[in-house]
Every structure is written in structure tokens, then in C-alpha cells.
Structure 1
Amino acid sequence: MKQPVAHQFVRYLENRGIQHIFGLCGHTNIAVLSALENSTIKFVNTRHEQIAAHMADGYARAKKQTSVVLTHLGPGLTNAATGVANAALDSIPMVVIAGDVPSHFYGKHPHQEINLHADASQYEIYRPFVKRAWRVDRPDLFPEIMEKAFQLAESGRPGPVLVSVPMDIFSKEIDVALFDRLKHHTKHLHKPSIDDETARQIIEKLIEAKHPLIYAGGGVILADAASELREMVDHLSIPVAYTLMGKGAISDDHPFALGMTGFWGTKFVNDTCRNADLILALGTRFSEADCSSWEPEYTFHFPTTKLIHIDIDPNEIGRNYPAEIGVVADLKQALTVLNRVAKEIIPGGRQNEAFKRKIAEYKEEFRNKIRVHVEDHSYPMRPERILQEVREVLPKDAYITTDVGWNKNGVGQQFPVYEAGTILTPGGYATMGFGAPAALGAKIAQPDKVVVSLVGDGGFGQNPSVLATAAEENIPVVWVVMNNFAYGTIAGLQKAHYGTTHGTVFQRDGEPYSPDFAAIAKAYGVEGVKIQSAEEFKPALQRAIASNQPFVIDVAMLNEPVPTAGHWNIMDIYSPHKKVHHVSVSH
């Protein structure tokens, strides 16, 4: 029996357990949209393809499931590219289905085709950042390509893949047996673990070290290994530092949780890492911001410090630092074995009360240092007070999405996260415009959780049409627009090094300017509040959460830099031989 490819494709996705598809229509994909009309799969309609990709990204992180994006050819594909690239650099599994030009028009330059260098080559646009890009040349090959696409997106180091489908192939009929045979193939691959001998080596080295440290990256969260990490820390009493993407891998209220490293890390955290004699790194690529541009006087001092590195991706082991022991393994399985071996070697575990007290004293000192800003009643508000009050209002299991600037760097440094996977931030690509739509995806994935997006006015202003989707689908996300009337972080950089803020602040007739985001929200049919004093903010946030409706809070914020003891090499490029970072940009 034969049926159209589009209808069989939708049924295939249903059988895989796909519940949502994010996207935007075009003449090349409406065959699939039509097939979705009576499907159990919900199509989430957006007003821009970048929004669709970021929503799918947030959804995949919160649901721990591969997400699906449906887009049009040409501008649809290129609009989605930023969101897909962001997912790629943060190792988020995603399958992108893109309509393509009719196969019988190859070489004729049909409507919206990109073919300046080769015919039928739109899929090649994605090659630098997806794990693989397919173009479907025959309808009978489509089923097996889809199966390969999901398997590749989910295996090893996860990431997006692209399947570019000529629109005529969606309408072709193929034998249902071609899709049916795929039901017999496993949908979950067994992942590599670690052998007992290697595990024993690692545990013995950790025990022998005078100043051991665990460095947790985003791979811990991707592997769902936070409980196994905590078990190791509790048994061996080893302090844990984390990357930006690893925030939440251990609860920030754990007595051995140090905090985030690198440029936006504190001196205590960076010095503790630098003075460790052995570091067990888990699921991290040692990215530049986390490592203070890899300069040894700031955060890490390898190979003086010995490194044991476990990661699912062999390409990351030894990329930036030499590893004494390198292990390719799934972190959940590896930590399970390491914990068993640790309990065999030291059944009663070990204590490190002295260092636990040292961490507690550091945290208290840090809180005291920022208390003056947290309790500041001035308006525009201090960013520290905004973050403090958001944390006070939210339940511990609430989901937070960030964009870039204070809402990413300041959150990484100062905002406690208590449950793994509840902080969604654009790490590798650091994409402005991620936070607002990612929150929608997270809320769809976790409808019973509170979801708050901390975003700047620059990021929220890039794609306010997220509000249309929120209104249409009634997705109760709260957006806190931390509004400093600027691309604040870059403005602070430019002023510090060049003495100007040209092109980085928003002005009208020489005065600070911002649209009224609360009024914009209301125009979309979403509730909005424009805060007028510091005292109004916390009650407004409480009301927004209680409303269980989409809600925008526009709060003016001082443009103050995130304090830092780390280093970023761009400072040396801007101002050689000077120790200058960011400065305040006052209105």
C-alpha cells in the first residue's frame, strides 16, 4: 500500500513520541502542515524562524528530548540558522526539516533558491554547525534518512541535524513498508561506560591528591548525571567548580559548591581552581570564557595541575589542556562506576570540614560584599537587587532562561540554581535573542513549572513577536526585561577602552530611549507592567507568576558592569599593557 510521504512522515514522528513541532509555514512545507492538522502532534506557529529554533532549543533542554523544527527554504532556513547554531554549540539534539526547491527544477533557479555556487545546495549552508546535513534526492530514501537523522542527533555529543526535502518529495507516494520496517530499529543506543581498572586509577588519584577539585560542565546536565555527581561529592568531600553551562549540575546551596569559573568567576573560585593539584573535569570543553582565555595566571594552570578529563566527545579531550587520563564515556554511567569503586576503596567516605568552612566563609563574604547593592532602593534598580528578588520569589524548581549581559554573566555569578537543568542559557554561541523564545519552549515542555525569562532590552527588542505566539497559545511565561537602555555589556567595554559609547546605547534626541515593553505586550494581548520604583518590582513579579498568564515586566536597570576577577584576552587587544575591563555607563 502506498501513501503520501508527508502523511507517513507525521505518523513516523507520532510513533517516535514527538508531541510538538516548532516552525513557520512556506509553500515548500504546507504538505506537512496539512498532514499535521489531525495529528496528535501540536504545531507551534511562530512569527520568525529564529524564534522557532530557540523555542525548540529550550524545549529540548527542559524536556530532555530531541526537538523538531519545520521551516521553509531560502530565507526560512537562513532565519532559523542562528537558533540552530546556538543549539549546536550547546550540544542540544534537534532535527530540522526544511522544505526545498522542487527536484525537477534543479538548475533552473526556481523561486527562493540559493544557488550562486551550486544547484540544489541550500542544505550546505548548515554544514559548519550541524552534525550532518542531508538532501533527500529520492522519496524512497526519506524514511531511512529520518531514522539516521534522529539517531545522529541523539548519539555521542548531541546536536542538531538538517534534512532538506524537495517539496515534490513530500507529495510523492511510497510504500508504507519503508517506514514500517524502521519500527524494528532501536530508538535508544547504549552509551559507553568506564571499566573498573580505569575507575580505580581515577579514584586513587583523587584520594592521593592534596587539593583535588571536580570541574563540572554542561555535559553533566546533558547526561542527566547530577545525582551521581552529588553522590561522589558527598562521599569524597571534593569541592566542585562549574562552567556557565554546568551551573546547576550541583546545587548552589551544596556545602562543596564553589561557583562559576573564568572571566565572570570570582577570585576565590578561580584561585581554588588554579591552586588545585588535580582536577577531574566532567563534560566540559574548557571554553574561553570559562578559562579566562586559557591564560595560566587567572583560572587554570595545567599541566602544573594534573587533569583527568571525561567526556562523551573524544575531540574535546586534550583540545585546550593536556590530560593525564582521558576517558570517552557517558557521564551518568561513568560516575555510577566511579561511585561504586570509591565506596569499595573508602567505604566510609572522607570528610573535609576545614575546606567546607572555607567555602561557607567565602559565600558569606561575597553576600556581604553585594548586600549594599541588593538593599539599594534607588531607581533605575541595581541589577543585584533584581536578581535577589527574582530568586526570593521563585520556587526552587522554577526554570530560568537568560539572554546575554547581566542576565547571563551576573546570573552565572550571583544567582543560585538549585536543580539541574533549570537554568537555560546560550553558552557557546552566546546568542542575543535566545532567552525570550527559549522560555516559551521550556514552558511547553514543563507546563507545571514556573518559567521566568531574564532578558535585556536589547535581546527582547530583537524579536518581540514571541508575544504573538505566547498570546495565541496562552503560554504563561514571565519576561523580566532588565532595561538599561543599551547593549549594556558592550557599551561598558567600549567606554572603558575607547572612552565612548557610540553605537551601543539607545538614544533619541540625545536622551536615553527605550520603547515601552509593557505597552508592546498589551498590544499583543499580553499583560504588561512598567515598573516605576524599586519597591514595585517584587510585588509585580509575584502578581505575574500568580496570574498564570503571559506577562512582561519592564524594569529600568542601572548599566553597571558584572564584577570580575577573571580575564578575557580581548581586554589586551583593546588596551595592551593595561588592566581595564568594563565600566559603568550612566545615563
Structure 2
Amino acid sequence: MTTLAAAVAETIANHGIRHAFGVVGNGNIYFVEALTGTGARYVPARHEGGAIAMAEAYYRTTGEVAVCTTTYGPGLTNVATGLTEAVKRRSPVLLVCGDAPVGRPPRPTDFAQREFIESLGARAVRVTDPATARETAADALELTRRDRVPVVLCLPDDLLKAEVPAAPAPQVATTRLVHVTPPAPGELAPVLEALAQARRPLVLAGAGAWQAGAAKILADLADELGGLLATTVQAAGLFAGHRWSVGLCGGFSSPRAAELIAEADVVLAFGATLNTFTLHGGKLPGRDATLVQIDAAAAPTTPRVDLAVTGDAADVAVALLDTLRARGAGASGWRTELGELGETGWADAPFEDRSTADRIDPRALSAELARLLPPERTLVTDGGHFAGWPIMYLPAPDPAGLVFTGVGFQVIGLGFAGAVGAVAGRPDRTTVVALGDGGALMGLPDLETLVRTAESALVVVYDDAAYGWEVHVYGDVADPDTIAFADTDFAGVARAFGATAAVVRTVEDLDAVRTWLDRGRAGTLVLDCKVVPDVVAGFLADLAGQLQAGGGPAAAPRAAA
């Protein structure tokens, strides 16, 4: 006899699910038992809110769907923040949870799960008949893959052990994205006209360009135009190694990169939402530049857009490139004018080291880590004021090499969980997770999960004993006792969880990293880095005025140190 729980697990596993993350309870324990029996790897988390972040990070590093699973009631409500983050990031995640029984009165733990799920922007699918359980599970998996939206598959408690009749395994289509109709030739005419007048064109790629597999065609388009290349944070590393790539566009741009981006007169933005952070509060690109947005969205995502084209990034790039080549317009002279880009990375940007005898400058810390760590790494970062330092100084080898947790919903506390998902997704790379002390304490339970499950991981806590964002933006009006704290002994906590740990106050203290590397990077090394608290990241200094004015950037990542 096959039970409903087993039929659902087998269907999911038969269609490519290899990893699951969760917390078991009586609403999902039979499902988890059956899923592990298929050979899928299950990572037991310490909190449901961490489990959903693990599954989302797994997708970020692999492009593949993972399962998160919880029990019903409070097990489901505990995923609310991470599920909302996945919705806003358009991450395909399948959440399998328990649900109220269909044939018995409601229990104290039952509530309106469908309404709750849909209020967060996710899709709800409920199994109601054992005879169609396999098809329902297959449909849920197809829905998350096709529409790139989190889907919650609810399994009523009184059906989990119900007998499911034998039947052929249902087929799940391989479609990963909703097809976007290519634009008609006439729709590109205004863009081609702008490019014909461009003297300094720039191709900007966002996450949508990466997901469309458009890296090469966009580089070819930039070559045809004689233009430069840049990416948003979510597509960091897409053009790594390209001679004419300036790196990141937005608040994390290096001074040289920001200078060049501001000089562009036509910017083609492919698959980028163009939020305020990417536009650096309106500073990038220059005010006189023509900003063209090519995106699957039906309308421009910001009033700053001058021209908008709805379409797949790769399809539109091919159409533009083919037309330009057919016309033989030739390249602009920008590259010839520049000769070379010069140094566009943060490693080459000078700064005054403000380290003291007992606290390290976060820039000096990050720069030294970049020199020590292998380039083939996955950087996972929590949200926070500190986040600029690792992202700026530890460049990603490709977009899968940067998992910026919480950026969609402006939340902190998901860093440790994100690292667990990244380790599971890319065990071939060195996983480095950076957190502030505020976010690290919020997500502390899943430091234990990381230590328990990761063969190799490096944890870097930028510890300024405060909510740094709030200190630097609102410190003149806030009660200091509400935003600053005594030092936390993260090294002691980490050792209690079974990790190796070191307190870092000087660059010399990073010898602990050298030792870890020399010993084959085995296990989890936690660095409690006591950073100078009053070194303010440039992106926050630029945005602080807007935030204090009461409006501020709607898409600026929430940050705590």
C-alpha cells in the first residue's frame, strides 16, 4: 500500500527534487520519512523561518527548486518572513506543509492557511483527494518552476496515511519560465534610434538577464556598440573577466565605476528592476542619459525609465544585435577614447585605515579576506549596513556566487540559513557568510545547523555591538539604549555549537583563516570581528539624507550591523 504522504514524496523526488530543508512535526513527519526514503537529502533546520531561507538560497546557487517542509499551524506561520522574501525575489520554492483535516472539526492549531499563504503573495495548492494526490503534487511543482513563484502544497492531516491507488507517475513539464512574446520589430525602433545617437552606451544586466542566459549575447551587444558593461548586485559577476566590465552599478559601485556609469549617455538595462539602490538614489546613470528598460514586466518599474521594451532579455538582445549588424552602424568611440578602463574594483580604491588597537576597520578586514580566500567561492551575506563591505571587496565569480539574503523584503537574520542552503547547493565552492551582530543574533539557531551540516564554511561577523544602520541614520534622535548593546562573545557561542572560532581585532588575527585554509578548510570557522563602529559605508552616507527626510529609497536594503 502507498500512503498519500509517500505518493506525494515519490512524485516530487521522481521529478528532480534532490534537497529539502525543514522542521518536522506531526503534520509533515510522514512526508519527510517518505522523502528521505527516495534518496533525497533532508537538512533538519532549527527554525522554520530558517528552513525556507535555506531552500531559497539553494535555488540562488543552483537554479534548481528545493523543498521546504513544515507542519501545519505555527509551523507554517513561522515561515512568513522568509516566504515573503522568496515571493519578492521570485524564487521557485516548493513548501510542503501539513493542513487542517478535511473530515474532522478544526483543531486549536488550525487556521485559514490558504488566505494566509495568498496574503503573502505565494500560491496555495491543497490535496483534497487521495486519488489525485500525485497529480496535485506534480501540478504544484510545475507551477513553481513555470511561474517562478513560491508554491505551498498543503497536506490535510487526516489524509496523510490514506491509501493512494496505484497509477503511472504523472508528467511534469520542463518549462522553467513563462514565455514572453518577443517584441515586434517596430517596438525596437525608438531604442535603435537612441543607440544610433549614442556616444557612450552602457549595457546593464540584472538578475533577469542572468536567468535568461543572456551573458554572452549582452557582451556581444556591448562589443558591437563599443560600450561598457555593468551589473546590478543581483547579477554580480555576470561579466567577470570581461575587459570592458566596470562591475556593479548602484550604491556598491567603486568610485571609478560610478564615474564611468555617470558618463554613459544611453543605458540598456536588461532584466533589472532598477530599484532606487541600483539607481543610487537617482545619481546613476547621469540625469541626461537615456535609460532603456528591457524586462518581462509589462510596464516600467520606475518613472526614471525613458524607453521600455517588454521581452526576454536574451531575445531582445539578439534582435538588437542582429539589426545593428545588418545596418553596419559601427561602434561608438568610447572604448577608443578610454584606451583602458583603469582599476574599477574596490581593492584598488585607497582609504584611510581607521583600525585601533582593539577594533579593525571593516574595509581593512574585507580587503585582507579577499586576498586570503580562493576566488571560487560563494559569498552569502545578511542584510545590514555592514553588507557593503563584503560585497564590495569580495567580488563574486558569477551571479550564483553571491546570495544576498533578505534584500527583497529588507529583512535581516537570514544569513546563517542562507549559508546552509548555499553549502548544500554548491559544496564545490568555499562558502563565506557575512553577517552583522544584529542579524547573527536573530538567526542564531541556524548557526548550529550550519556547523552540524557544512563540511566547510567561513563565518564573518562584522560586530559593532549595535544596529549600525539605525545608529548612522537615526543616531542623533534615537535613544542609544535601543540601538547599541554590549559586546557579544560570538566566538564563545560558536565553540559551544562545535565550531572553531577566533576573535579578530587586527589584520594579524586573520592568521586563523590561514590556518583553516592550510588544513583543508575543514569544518566551520567563525570569526568574531570587532569592527570600528563609526566607519560608514558610502552607500549609506549617500542615502541617509533621504531616509531622514521621511521618504527615502523604497528599495534600499534594511541594515543592522
Q: TM-score, normalised by structure 1?
A: 0.84
1:313 aligns with 2:297: yes
Change in 2 beyond 3 A, CA 1:387/1:56: same
Q: Within 1, Cα distance between the matches of 2:17 and 2:194?
A: 44
- Residue of structure 2 in register with 1:541 after alignment: 513
Mean Cα deviation higher: 549-558 or 416-425? 416-425
Counterpart of 2:556 in structure 1 is none
Q: Secondary structure at the match of 1:480?
A: strand
Distance 1:320 1:350, change over 3 A: closer
2:547 aligned partner, one-letter code? I
- SS of 1:421's equivalent in the other structure is helix
Correspondences of 1:170-569 after superposition (within 5 Å): 170-177=160-167, 180=169, 182-183=170-171, 185-188=173-176, 191-192=179-180, 194=182, 197=185, 201=189, 202-203=191-192, 205-251=194-240, 254-265=242-253, 273=261, 276-293=264-281, 296=282, 298-300=283-285, 305-314=289-298, 317-329=300-312, 331-346=313-328, 352-354=334-336, 356-357=338-339, 359-360=341-342, 363=344, 369-373=349-353, 378-426=357-405, 427-495=407-475, 497-498=476-477, 500-507=479-486, 513-514=487-488, 516-537=489-510, 539-545=511-517, 546-559=520-533, 560-564=535-539, 566-567=542-543, 569=546
Secondary structure (helix, strand or coil) at the match of 1:307 reads strand
Q: Deviations over 1:505-549 (max 9, x none)?
A: 113xxxxx21x2222122112222223432111x22233343321
Change (3 A) 1:379 1:27: same
Contact 2:419/2:450, CA 8 A, preserved across alignment: no
Structure 1's 474 and 417: CA in aligned 2 closer, same or farther, altered over 3 A? Answer: closer
Distance 1:205 1:165 in 2: 54
- Are 2:125 and 2:153, in contact at CA under 8 Å, matched by a contact in 1? yes
**Alignment-mate amino acid for residue 542 of structure 1:** R
Q: Give the share of equivalent positions with the same residue, in percent.
A: 23
- Aligned equivalents of 2:532 and 2:301: distance in 1? 41
Task: Name 2:558's counterpart in structure 1.
Answer: none
Q: Is the 1:21–1:67 contact (alpha carbons within 8 Å) kept by the matching residues of 2?
A: yes
How far did residue 388 of structure 1 move? 0.8
The structure-2 alpha-carbon separation of the partners of 1:165 and 1:499, relative to structure 1 and needing over 3 Å to count, comes to: closer
| Equivalent residue, structure 1, for 2:119 | 128
Structure 1 unmatched runs, 5+: 115-120, 508-512, 576-584
For residue 307 of structure 2, what is the amino acid of its counterpart?
E
State the 1:29 CA deviation: 0.7
Alpha-carbon displacement from aligned partner over 1:232-270 (angstroms, at most 9, x marks no partner)? 33343322343332322322x544333444455566655
Structure 1 residue identity aligned to 2:278: D
Amino acid at match of 1:463: G
* Residues 67-76 or 162-171, more deviating: 162-171
Partner secondary structure for residue 194 of structure 2: helix
**Gap runs ≥5 in structure 2:** 553-560
36 and 483 in structure 1: CA distance in 2 versus 1, 3 angstrom threshold? same
Compared CA separation, residues 284 and 128, structure 1 to 2 (3 A): farther
Alignment RMSD (CA, Å) = 3.1
Q: Distance in 2 between matches of 1:454 and 1:355?
A: 39
Secondary structure of residue in 2 paired with 1:453: strand
Q: Distance in 1 between matches of 2:157 and 2:208?
A: 37
- Mapped contact 1:457–1:482 kept (Cα < 8 A): yes
8 A Cα contact 1:267 1:566, kept in partner = no
Matches within 5 A, 1:3-22: 3-22=2-21
Deviation at 1:102, TM superposition (A): 1.5
Residues 205 and 145 of structure 1: CA distance in aligned 2, closer, same or farther (over 3 Å):
farther
Q: Secondary structure at 2:353's aligned position in 1?
A: helix
SS of 2:119's equivalent in the other structure is: coil
Cα deviation digits, residues 23-67 of structure 1 (max 9, x gap): 000111111022134221111101101111111111111111112
In structure 1, what is the Cα distance between the partners aligned to 2:125 and 2:304? 34
d(CA) in 2 for partners of 1:104, 1:356: 73
**Deviation sequence 1:313-346 (CA, Å, 0-9, x none):** 32x53554444241222x2344344444444444
**Aligned-pair CA distance for 1:173:** 2.1
Q: Is the 8 A contact 2:199 2:332 kept in 1?
A: no
Q: Deviations over 1:533-577 (max 9, x none)?
A: 32111x2223334332122111111112102374463221299xx
Q: C-alpha distance in 2, partners of 1:230/1:183?
A: 37
- The worse-fitting range, judged by mean Cα deviation, of 527-536 and 87-96 is 527-536
Distance 1:209 1:30, change over 3 A: same
Cα separation, 1, equivalents of 2:172 and 2:439: 45
- Per-residue deviation, residues 97-134 of structure 1 (Å, max 9, x unmatched): 111122223xx4404123xxxxxx12322223334222
1:68-98 CA deviation, whole Å, 9 max, x = no partner?
1111112211211211211222221111111
Whole-angstrom CA distance in 2 between matches of 1:305 and 1:517: 47
How far residue 402 of structure 1 moved from its aligned partner, in angstroms, is: 0.5
Q: Secondary structure at the match of 2:412?
A: coil
Offset of residue 311 of structure 1: 1.5
**In 2, Cα distance between equivalents of 1:232 and 1:420:** 20
Matches of 1:355 and 1:73, distance apart in 2: 63
**How far off is 1:406 after superposition?**
4.0
Which residue identity does 1:155 align to in structure 2?
Answer: R
Once the 2 structures are TM-superposed, how far is the Cα of residue 355 of structure 1 from its aligned partner?
A: 5.5
Structure 2 CA distance for aligned equivalents of residues 64 and 213 of structure 1: 27
Say which SS state the counterpart of residue 284 (structure 1) adopts: coil
State TM-score, norm by structure 2. 0.88
In 1, distance between residues paired with 2:337 and 2:414? 38
Per-residue deviation, 1:301: 6.5
Equivalent residues of 1:223, 1:332 under 8 A apart: yes
Sort the Cα spacing of 1:274 and 1:530 in 2 relative to 1 into closer, same or farther, 3 A: closer
Q: Secondary structure at the match of 1:502?
A: helix
The amino acid that maps onto 2:265 is D
SS where residue 573 of structure 1 aligns?
A: coil
Q: CA deviation at 1:477?
A: 1.4
Q: Is the 8 A contact 2:420 2:453 kept in 1?
A: no
Contact between 1:489 and 1:561, CA under 8 Å: does it hold in 2? no
Q: Which stretch shifts more, 438-447 or 161-170?
A: 161-170
